[in-house]
Amino acid sequence: MTPAIELVDVYKAFGRTAIIHGVSLAIEAGTRQALIGPNGAGKSTLFNLITGKYPLSRGRIRLKGEDITGLRPYEINRRGLSRSFQVTNIFPRLSVFENLRCSALWSRGYGYSFWHLVENARDVRERAETVMEQLNLTARRHMPAGVLSYAEQRALEIGIAIAGGADVILLDEPTSGMSRSETEHVVQLIRQVTAGKTLVVVEHDMSVVFDLADRIAVLVYGEIIAHDTPSLIRANAAVQEAYLGVPQGAA
Amino acid sequence: MSRRYGVWIAAAAILAVLPHIVRTPVAVPVMSQMGIAVVFALSYNMLLGQGGMLSFGHAVYFGLGGFIAAHVLNLAGEGVFWLPVPFLPLVGGLGGLCFGALFGSFSTTRAGTVFAMISLGIGELMASSALILDKFFGGEEGITTNRVKAPTLLGLDFTTDRKVYYLIAFWAFVAAALMYAFSRTPVGRMANAVRDNPERAEFVGYSQRWVRFVSFCVAGLFAGVAGGLFALNYEILTAENMGLAASGSVLLMTFIGGIGSFFGPILGAIVFTFLQSMLSDYTGIWLLYLGLLFLATVLFVPAGLAGILMLHVPAWRAGRPGRLVGPYVVAGLLTLVAAVGVIGLLEMVHFVVSAPASRTTKRLFWVAVNVRTLWSWLAFAALAAAGALGFRWAAPRAAAAFAEASRPAEAR
């Protein structure tokens, strides 16, 4: 089966500083996978490479078998890959509903149309309303997104990523800065909205990682040191060393 | 939905009866001027308010649309081809669209400062071209045209101000309705999204550059329509019409009206044109007052006149707008006192600087004022100071009344 995302010897340097050293990784379609690693390992950079925010220095990236190396973010999004951001990245002056409606427009085929009125686009409205319901934001429908609470903005951040109905979804630290109960709610939400899709999530909260992921990739200093099921990752000596600084059994 | 159409029907009705209500001789030409300004300002706000593009050269598309329309009208008048006068604004629009597409193709690659600088460059380029390409732009005198010579449609001629007004009102209404409709289309909505967050717009499938380009072309189109109306109305176009000053005034009127809502630029265009035509009859430094108005808007009410009105919606909904009348009238009168003082001082300075030295008295506010005595200066300074002090006393009271009136009505 063709992997949803396939990285082949991906390499990225900023000036002389190499951040990603030849990463090769295949994300199987229809799985939920977590990307973990210490701070500064290059997790967000890897997301930015996959989604077209940064150009690669070397290597290829394929999405569902199709080469997307060097494409612009909007071209990659149109091929069915969507992402959220670690730092909330919404449309602050647009209402909650408008944020979601704008995110659903392209995938419903409206493109750059100036011959449709959005009020008459029932499919887009219904999609935005469904997502708004899933996010628990229906009561905030008309509020500008910029005035929502932090947790609500984080939820909307995920909503913008999923509203277009992409089948490959990348979430960058969706639970960062959230309380225990908010985190639980978001994990449940992620589980619900990514059912049957491919999910890659960067996450620091290990309980979330082990709860959500079918497979875990561990990135350390720009290299994938392990890519396995949660139980095998837990037992992996190299991973323990990277996280705890001691090899298994040394203490 | 029906309420939304109601506003448009009311607007159409007002446009239709206005010349019959306001019966002073200058009113009709001024209203025609307002109609042109409304179209121009609305097209400008597609860039500034809707798309987040600060342009210093929007008059280029207005002017080019106008010049093209004027040439076409002349050719039609000579019988080169058949084009009835009422369709002329469409010619202007086509011209604006073509040049919008041409210049937009490279100026919309970036937003922000880069966009603003390019727009300024294009504005200067066209202003200097106008003096070089004098076959087309007519050099310093500009080009003239005649709307009466061209073919008529259904026997409609445009020989009186009132007939021209109705033609302008018709096109202004159509253009405003289309521009409103544009703001409700997918690409119009995405213009707002790109304004707010261009990066995220790319991650939901839209190229920020294409979204800006489409807005830019449509803004060019309607600026061209306004230019075509201008050509019809004044029958003369000069390089000034597409210069920096013209680009500046559309920025001023749009901002004063308010860039945050659709009707803001309409309000701004009407107020600005009114002040422009009235003030210039009374004072030589009217441009200074418009500048001060702009400054005050930027500093104190960045949301513009429309923003002020929108702030009062909660009070209106809560059924308490009446409580605002008293405090507002007090604050308003005190502002007026301060304004009289400041205007008096400015006018006296202007008089001393520009009038012949032999003249010593100037009529100010229906009073003959001797500018050579200290007392007149002191009197106006005192008015300015008293008004300002009084306003400082009244403003918190008005603000408190506003907060009180805006409280949501208690559930009964």
Interface test with A, best of B185, B203, B208, B214 (most A CBs within 10 A): B203
**How far, in Å, CA of A244 to CA of A231, rounded?**
17
In angstroms, the separation between the Cα of residue B231 and the nearest Cα of chain A is 28
Condensed to tens digits (0 to 9), the pLDDT of residues B232-286 reads: 999 899 888 888 999 999 999 999 999 989 999 999 999 999 998 888 888 888 8
Residues in CB range of B345: below 8 A, 6 or more apart: B377, B380, B381, B384
Which residues in chain A are closer than 8 Å to B211, comparing Cβ atoms? 112
Domain boundary among B278, B293, B310: B310
- Our CA dihedral for B355, B361, B362, B368, rounded to 10 degrees, sits at 180
Q: Is 50 exceeded by the pLDDT of residue B412?
A: no
pLDDT score recorded for residue A164: 92
In angstroms, the separation between the Cα of residue A68 and the nearest Cα of chain B is 14
Closest among A221, A223, A238 to A40, alpha carbons compared: A221
In angstroms, the separation between the Cα of residue B261 and the nearest Cα of chain A is 12
pLDDT score recorded for residue B349: 86
Architecture of domain A5-244: 3-Layer(aba) Sandwich (3.40)
B63, B124 Cβ separation under 8 angstroms: no
With CA atoms as reference, the chain A residue closest to B199 would be: A89
Residues B276 and B350 placed together within one structural domain of the fold: no
Total number of domains in chain B: 2
Q: Cβ of A119 under 8 Å from any chain B Cβ? A: yes
Condensed to tens digits (0 to 9), the pLDDT of residues B299-329 reads: 988 898 998 888 888 888 887 777 888 888 8
In angstroms, the separation between the Cα of residue B202 and the nearest Cα of chain A is 5
Higher-confidence position of B384 and B360: B384
Residues B360 and B300 placed together within one structural domain of the fold: no
In a domain, B7, yes or no: no
Which residues in chain B are closer than 8 Å to A160, comparing Cβ atoms? 200, 204
Condensed to tens digits (0 to 9), the pLDDT of residues A175-228 reads: 988 889 889 989 999 999 899 999 999 998 888 999 899 999 999 989 999 999
Closest among B209, B86, B96, B208 to B157, alpha carbons compared: B86
Selecting from A82, A93, A117 the residue whose C-beta is nearest the C-beta of B185 gives: A117
**To which residue do tokens 């909503």 refer?**
A159
Q: Is 70 exceeded by the pLDDT of residue A107?
A: yes
**How far, in Å, CA of A146 to CA of A37, rounded?**
31
Domain ranges across chain A: 5-244
Residues in CB range of A147: below 8 A, 6 or more apart: none
Residues B382 and B304 placed together within one structural domain of the fold: no
Condensed to tens digits (0 to 9), the pLDDT of residues B51-68 reads: 999 999 999 999 999 999
Domain extent for B136: 14-310
Full 3-state SS string of chain A: CCCCEEEEEEEEEECCEEEEEEEEEEECCCCEEEEECCCCCCHHHHHHHHCCCCCCCEEEEEECCEECCCCCHHHHHHCCEEECCCCCCCCCCCEHHHHHHHHHHHHHCCCCCCCCCHHHCHHHHHHHHHHHHHCCCHHHCCCEHHHCCHHHHHHHHHHHHHHCCCCEEEEECCCCCCCHHHHHHHHHHHHHHCCCCEEEEECCCHHHHHHHCCEEEEEECCEEEEEECHHHHHCCHHHHHHHHCCCCCCC
Residues B257 and B334 placed together within one structural domain of the fold: no
Residues B95 and B191 placed together within one structural domain of the fold: yes
pLDDT score recorded for residue B411: 46
Q: Cβ of B164 under 8 Å from any chain A Cβ? A: no
Residues B144 and B196 placed together within one structural domain of the fold: yes
A73-87, A178-192, A232-246: range with lowest mean pLDDT: A232-246
**How far, in Å, CA of B43 to CA of B176, rounded?**
9
Instruction: For residue B131, count other CB atoms closer than 10 A to its CB.
Output: 12
In angstroms, the separation between the Cα of residue B110 and the nearest Cα of chain A is 15
Domain boundary among B310, B340, B355: B310
**To which residue do tokens 């990066």 refer?**
B199
With CA atoms as reference, the chain A residue closest to B214 would be: A112
Selecting from B181, B200, B206 the residue whose C-beta is nearest the C-beta of A90 gives: B200
Domain boundary among B285, B310, B335: B310
Selecting from B189, B207, B210 the residue whose C-beta is nearest the C-beta of A102 gives: B189
pLDDT score recorded for residue A251: 40
Average pLDDT along chain A: 91
